[in-house]
Homo-oligomer: A and B are copies of this chain.
Amino acid sequence: MNSENFSLSEKIVSSSYVRQGSQARRGHEQLIRVLLEQGKCPEEGWSESTIELFLNELAVMDSNNFLGNCGVGEREGRVASGLVARRHYRLIHGIGRSGDIAAVQPKAAGSSLLNKLTNSVVLDIIRQSGVRSASCCFVVPMATGMSLTLCFLTLRHRRPGARYILWPRIDQKSCFKAMVTAGFEPIVIENILEGDELRTDLDTVQKKIDELGAENILCVHSTTSCFAPRVPDRLEELAVICAKHDIPHVVNNAYGVQSSKCMHLIQQGARVGRIDAFVQSLDKNFLVPVGGAIIAGFDEGFVKEISKMYPGRASASPSLDVLITLLTLGASGYRKLLSERKEMYNHLAHELSTLAQQHGERLLHTPHNPISMAMSLSGLQAHSDQAVTQLGSMLFTRQVSGARVVPLGVEQMVSGQLFRGFMSHAEAYPCPYLNAASAVGIARGDVDLCMKRLDKCVRSLRKSAAPHSTEDTAPPAPPEEQDTAA
């Protein structure tokens, strides 16, 4: 209420109480003021009531909520269903304009503010999470894969003659398709086995550049977060190579914001070499629904170029989700989540290692992977050929989600390319294994329950040389893909 309405209220209830109420209102407005002024994630999270107040304020600034508006255009932000209007807080106009997804809309000052603030708050968090020198970013309502595609399409205009993308292998469909969809030919760089870890083969990268010619290479497309025993790419070295050959470098940082190691790699890469853009998933890093990504970079001009490549307006829904979430958590709440994740990583590693030993397996030694780990299943496979895949179905049936079983020798065609040893990031990894990850939001209960069920399943499989129980034959093993980017 404005001051006039507060004055009127004083005639109805005691003025000292109203004055206190009006002062309390200023408390909320003060939080909003700081946000508008600084464009940063507030250190302490906001209450639901401040957030809803703020969103309602934004909504009344959009023309579809003007009480006296009359619309004779073809897009007036009308909504037929009250359920739909409410779930979007009546913010209907989306973000961006036909020219640029980051542009301001005349009809929707509130939605435009939402868009700008979200990008600004998200940039703040990316910096706080380790990429201190990131200069610009924007939220896009597409998953990581399609966002990578957009980056590649933008680069095409800078390098019209380039046809190839150098890509250290990571077995996940959408990041591969991102390149194919953009119309490029991925050059798969097989990983090198170092101990248990699969790491970037820098020599082959260099060799391929020489072979194909730098000017024919659109970019190097590297990856941070990934399933063990693959580990984050050697970003620094790749960045140096890119700088040397003047080749753009796009990093798939799908769920890497949650790991200080991944973020550090990007920061270092950009410092010593070249990184043009890095792309991360909203849902995997910020505990929001699937469907959004952040495209970030170090050169504001290039990031804006990408945002201008998106033809047309876009859904504000992912921006709204991440803004609500970050305002709710505050920077301190997000840091707390990240530190809990780290703690759970250690707990998971300890538990999985213990369990492995009990069953004659071992936790693979992958110290460079800060999120995912793997337990060998060599013994289980020795026991029975089918046991490894059976383990997958059994875990699915027992509501253990995300524990991915990787058998040997899977072959898979993806967009016309045959991958041998698919899912394991290598043509012939030495042993089958099971993945587990400690991702942001994981709870101790997740780990403990998973260990208990896993133990039971392995135990039961090892007992029976015979085919496993009927219950578990029924469900077709759902091939849990590795979602580095999705």
Contact = CB atoms under 8 A, between A and B. Distances in A.
The 10 closest A-B pairs by CB, nearest first: A73-B402, A291-B315, A94-B290, A21-B61, A145-B311, A145-B312, A106-B478, A174-B312, A98-B174, A16-B475
B324 A287 contact: no
A385 interface: no
Interface string A431-442: 000001111111
Contact of A312 (B116, B182, B314, B485): B485
Contacts of A97: 173, 481, 486
A230 interface: no
A444 B74 CA distance: 15
For the side of the interface on A, what is the size category?
A: 35 or more
A268 to B, nearest CB: 23
Contacts of A465: none
A238 B350 CA distance: 61
A322 to B, nearest CB: 9
A205 interface: no
Interface string A471-486: 0001110101101011
Contacts of A181: 150, 153, 309-311
A292 interface: yes
A180 B157 CA distance: 9
A399 B78 contact: no
A11 to B, nearest CB: 8
A483 B75 contact: yes
A401 B324 contact: no
Interface stretch (A82-90, A240-248, A418-426): A82-90
A377 to B, nearest CB: 15
Interface in A73-119: 73-88, 90-95, 97-99, 104-110, 112-113, 116-117
Nearest to A412: B99
A193 B291 CA distance: 44
Interface in A384-418: 396-397, 399-404, 414
A86 to B, nearest CB: 8
A172 B12 CA distance: 26
Contacts of A203: none
Interface stretch (A126-134, A194-202, A269-277, A447-455): A447-455
A175 interface: yes
B183 A153 contact: yes
A30 B61 CA distance: 15
Interface stretch (A64-72, A295-303, A355-363): A64-72
B27 A63 contact: no
B9 A36 contact: yes
A183 B480 CA distance: 34
Contact of A292 (B9, B33, B59, B315): B315
Given A70-B400, A98-B483, A311-B145, A325 B36 contact: no
Contacts of A169: none
